[in-house]
Structure 1
Amino acid sequence: MIIGIGGVSRSGKSTLANLLVTYFRKTGKKAIIFHQDDFVFPETQIPKIRNKTNWESPESIDFELYKEVIELFRSRFDVVIAEGLFAFYDDGINQLYDKKFHVKISKRTFLIRRAMDIRWGYEPTWFIDHVWQSFLRFGKPHKELKGVVNVSGEDEFDMEKVIKEINR
C-alpha cells in the first residue's frame, strides 16, 4: 500500500505519517516514510523569489527521483508513506497512491504555527504569505484527483477515522 499525505507547511503531515508508521508496525507490517523535503534539488538549482530560495516551488523537488524511490520500496515494504507540500502535484506519483490524505488547517493556524517555527530564523511576512499562496496554487489536491480524504490538522488527529479510511 502506498499512502500520500499532503498539506500546507506546519499542518501535521509528518505527525500523521509517524502515527501511521507506528500503527502499521504495531500490527506487524513493515512501514516506511519518505519526506518530500529529502528530495529537493541542490539549492543552486532552485528558483529564487526576492533573493530567497523558493522552497515553495514544485521546481525545487526532484519528482523523478521521488517516484523512483517510492516504486522501489513498494516491493520491500507493506506500507510506503509519501508526505510533502507537493504530495498531489505530480500526476505520475498520484497514480501510485492507494490512499490519499490531505491535512487541512486554517490560515490562522498556519500563521500561528509558522510564527512559532524558528528553524530558519526570522522570516519576513511577505515570505510567510508566499508559502500559503504557493500551497493554494501548487499543493492543494486538484478537483480531478479522486479519493482524497480531508483530515483536520487543527488538533489531534482522529486516527479512528484515518484507519477506517485506510481499511475501506
Structure 2
Amino acid sequence: MLIGIGGVSRSGKSTLANLLVTYFRKNGKKAIIFHQDDFVFPETQIPKIKNRTDWESPHSIDFELFKEVLILFREKFDVVIAEGLFAFHDTATNELLDKKLFVKISKRTFLIRKSMDTRWGYEPTWFIDHIWNSFQKYGKPSTEIKNLLSVSGEDEFDMEKVIKYICK
C-alpha cells in the first residue's frame, strides 16, 4: 500500500507518518517513510526568490526519482508512506498512491509553529509569507484527487479515523 501525506510546512505530516509507520510495524507489517525533502535537486538547480533558495517551489523536487523510489519500495514493503509539501502536486505520483491524507492547519497555527522553527536560522517575515502562499498555490490538493481524507493537524490526530480510512 502506498500512502501519501501532504500539508503545509509544520502541519504535522512527519508526525502523522511516524504514527502510521509505528502502527503498521506493531501490527506485523513492513513499513517505511519517505520524506519528499530528501528528493530535492541540488541547490544550484533550484529557483531563487530574492536571492534565497526557493525550497517552496515544486521545481525544487525531483519527482521522477521520488516516483522511482516509491515504485521500487512498493515491492519490498507492505506499506510505503510518502510525505511532503508537494505530495499531491505531481499527477504521475498521485496515481500511484492508494490512500491520501491531507493535513490541514490554519494560517495562524502555521505562523505560530513556523516562528518556533529555528532549524534554518532566522527567516524573514516575507519568506514565511512566501511559504504559506506557495503552499496555497502548489501544495493544496485539487478537488479532482480521489481517495483523499483531510485531517486536522491543529491538535492530536484522530488516529481511529485515519486507520479506519486507510484499512477500509
What residue number does 1:103 align with?
Answer: 103
What residue number does 1:37 align with?
Answer: 37
- In the TM superposition, 1:32-71 aligns within 5 A as 32-71=32-71
What residue number does 2:81 align with?
Answer: 81
- In the TM superposition, 1:72-151 aligns within 5 A as 72-151=72-151
How many Å separate the matches in 1 of 2:47 and 2:97? 28
How many Å separate the matches in 2 of 1:108 and 1:79? 33
How many Å separate the matches in 1 of 2:146 and 2:3? 14
How many Å separate the matches in 1 of 2:132 and 2:150? 18
How many Å separate the matches in 2 of 1:22 and 1:147? 22
Please report the RMSD computed on the Cα atoms of aligned residues, expressed in angstroms.
0.4
1:14 aligns with 2:14: yes
Q: Which runs of 4+ in 1 moved over 6 A?
A: none
How many Å separate the matches in 1 of 2:16 and 2:143? 23
- Structure 1 runs not aligned, ≥5 long: none
Return the TM-score normalized by structure 2. Answer: 0.99
Shift of 1:143: 1.2
How many Å separate the matches in 1 of 2:29 and 2:81? 13
What residue number does 1:158 align with?
Answer: 158
Listed one character per residue, the Cα deviations across residues 47-97 of structure 1 (whole Å, up to 9, x for unaligned) are 000000000000000000000000000000000000000000000000011
- Structure 2 runs not aligned, ≥5 long: none
Return the TM-score normalized by structure 1. Answer: 0.99
